[in-house]
Chain A
Amino acid sequence: MNAASHQTDLKPHATGTDTPVVQSGAEVLLRVLGEQGVEVIFGYPGGAVLPIYDALFRQNTIRHVLVRHEQAAVHAAEAYARSTGRVGVVLVTSGPGATNTVTGLLDAMLDSIPVVCFSGQVGVPLIGTDAFQEADTTGITRPATKYNYLVRRADEIAPSVHEAFHIARSGRPGPVLVDLPKNLMVGPAPYVAPARAPHPSYQPQTEPGRDAISRAVAAMKGARRPLFYTGGGIINAGPEASAALRRLVEKTGFPCTSTLMGLGSMPAGDRRFLGMLGMHGTYEANMATHGCDVLIALGSRFDDRVTGRLDAFSPTSFKIHADIDPSQINKIVPVDVGIVGDARRVIEMMLEEWDCTPANTRQPIDMAQWWHQINEWRARDSLGFVQDMAPDAIIRPQYAIRRLHELATATGRDTYVSTEVGQHQMWAAQHFGFDKPNRWLTSGGLGTMGYGLPAAVGAQVAHPDALVIDIAGEASTLMNIQELSTIAQYRLPVKVFILNNQYMGMVRQWQELLHESRYSESYSAALPDFVKLAESFHGRGLRATCMGELDGVIAEMLAHPGPVVADICVAQDENCYPMIPSGAAHNQMILGPGQDDEISAEGRMLV
């Protein structure tokens, strides 16, 4: 490489007690990472990032975890972030290294996960020449990131990296990419301390307006059929937000439902928690959403998986929507009170306001009627399924997850669950009860198959002593199966729990419901032997083919100190219920087989 001979300002910037030592761009980068509290980087080396890898080699404060594909690096960083509340960090090379991160970055974008991704770039003089492994990385990732940088001068390295962390973690969190040309990493660069006011145009509002809170609480006090509808924003606002939500639910006595991304903010077993709402939500959650008179959305965004048919969504309710991102309010569903702010602050102010407004005017009988109604809906047991308990019976996937939950809980260990995407993901959301926030790692917005295995890597790296389980489908998990090698290298005791129905189950289910059971390309042909696969990656492979083998396999998996792949052969024809069919309203749920021939022509057009 031609070193940064065009640089003129090479004088090191002395700040505070620092002694002016000339550092390379790569050393400055690592110094800033250290100051940002980075302990782990998930990455994969290559030509354009060799100077950074060389600097990593010569230090021992930041740990590098070598993944086997750059997409996996981002998912691992997402899970690290989601399970710790910190920023996940990724390092990849230019060109294909950077383009391989795009799926992960967009995944983090849609689920609001703070990730900073560093990509190598060809040297500044080569940019725009179609150089080897050159890509317009900032151009490609612009719509997949909250913000991105192409660093063009050595004196931009430190400020850009500091700012990248600030932008990733503040406001509505998200992924930020910093593209680092190789010559700037080799050449000398000045260190710059974090700016007091980075990027003056970026001023996210976190403190809610008192007036909006007052109007919201006034409506809540007059409610007869209220409902909290909480989302991933509660998780992003930290464990204190979940604690505050629990106090608010307790104080108001209101029922609470959660989106997929919000699971864990309320304890699954709490009597006021109605389970998940939406396409595969519980009957009681969806009927309550349809029938409530005041709907309080906290850190949720009226996603189409939640609302079903929009013109029939919660048709008679007064709607309150609190979100840290002003663009979410009135985006999909017009609301009566919009509150912009951090979920934790919103809930804390609602609690204060609830206490200091005049005594409750609502008749207690009204809430009792609402709860009576909800309990009637609950009594339908919409998550019920039929499991033949004979030892040679076929395992139902729901039952396998319930047993996994029970036996994992019995270990008393702190448990983190990641998933891939599809039926198994919905069954995990329905049947694995989460009692704490930050323990549930799933790809909600983007629906990325192949998320779960690298996510389990990230969670296990963050929590080495915890029990980390990837609840997987056999099709999804093959999309990033190479991460078994990462798991082996770092001796991560990840448990991969594959619900193997030999189908892309959710695709098969939709083909059954919408396309008269023409199972076009959804059969998992030529599957590997997952037991041998696990062994070839230096792990333990287990298999359960019938009910008599299930508990033993789960127990052995949980007891084994190293990584395990458990191949759980489950019923192939099981569909995920309950279900709001495409184009239908919440009160038109399918609760089980035999009710599913009513999907409209418009419904077929929807994803």
Chain B
Amino acid sequence: MTTQQESPVSAVIAIQVENESGALARVIGLFSGRGYNIESLTVAPVDETRRQSRINIVTTATPHVLEQIRAQVARLVPVYRVSVMTGQDPHVAREMALVKVIASGERRADALRIAQAFRAHPVDASATSFVFELTGATDKLDAFIDLMRPLGLAEVSRTGVAAIARGAAIL
């Protein structure tokens, strides 16, 4: 088999599904049942009139397994379309994080300064805390969270990745 020679790559699986009860469970059940990894997951309705939702799943797998994931997801009854976006497919991938930092004095000022550099907006502030909102690629969010750690990082809430192909190509 060629599988052994392939190395895993990171990919976003974008899935357009019927917005019906159980559709998400079918998709994630397929991932757990067949041993595919889910690194992040987002789901939300994207077309109310046609009752369609979009699921974005970030996974890491060999190209052979990615193709299997695509085929297995595609055959689920409520799935309209599936696309697999790897580093070779031009696409935009973003996620949003809400980051709570509890700090005072010097560290509070440092946190605010770094947040500005990352274009993270304080969406809530109290005398002892900030909540920053930050959107970007996953590694940018990781870097920001790492920098906040010594400055009083208290809690993180991330959305997971939403992705879309560049150019006129559509799912």
Contact = CB atoms under 8 A, between A and B. Distances in A.
A330 B67 contact: yes
Nearest to B25: A142
A201 B78 contact: yes
Given A330-B64, A334-B1, A142 B78 contact: no
B33 A143 contact: yes
Contacts of A139: 25
A133 interface: no
B118 interface: no
B77 A146 contact: yes
A429 to B, nearest CB: 28
Contacts of A167: 77
Given A326-B74, A334-B2, A199 B25 contact: no
B29 A142 contact: yes
A199 B1 contact: no
Interface string A181-206: 00000000000000000011110000
B1 A201 contact: no
Contact of A202 (B68, B71, B77): B77
A167 B21 CA distance: 17
A148 to B, nearest CB: 8
A326 B25 contact: no
Interface residues of A, number: 25
Contact of A310 (B1, B72, B80): B1
Interface in B1-34: 1-2, 17-18, 21-22, 25-26, 29-30, 33
A116 to B, nearest CB: 14
A150 B21 contact: yes
Interface string A136-160: 0011001100111010100000000
B75 A143 contact: no
A600 B6 CA distance: 26
A327 B72 contact: yes
B85 interface: no
Given A310-B1, A334-B1, A199 B74 contact: no
B57 interface: no
Nearest to A334: B2
Contacts of A200: 18, 80
B77 A201 contact: yes
A58 interface: no
Contact of B18 (A138, A199, A310, A330): A199
B26 A327 contact: no
B101 interface: no
Given A172-B75, A330-B64, A331-B71, 4 more contacts: A138-B22, A142-B29, A152-B21, A201-B17
19 contacts: A138-B22, A139-B25, A142-B22, A142-B26, A143-B33, A147-B77, A150-B21, A152-B21, A199-B77, A199-B78, A201-B18, A201-B77, A201-B79, A202-B77, A202-B78, A326-B75, A327-B75, A329-B71, A330-B67
The 3 closest A-B pairs by CB, nearest first: A327-B71, A147-B77, A201-B80
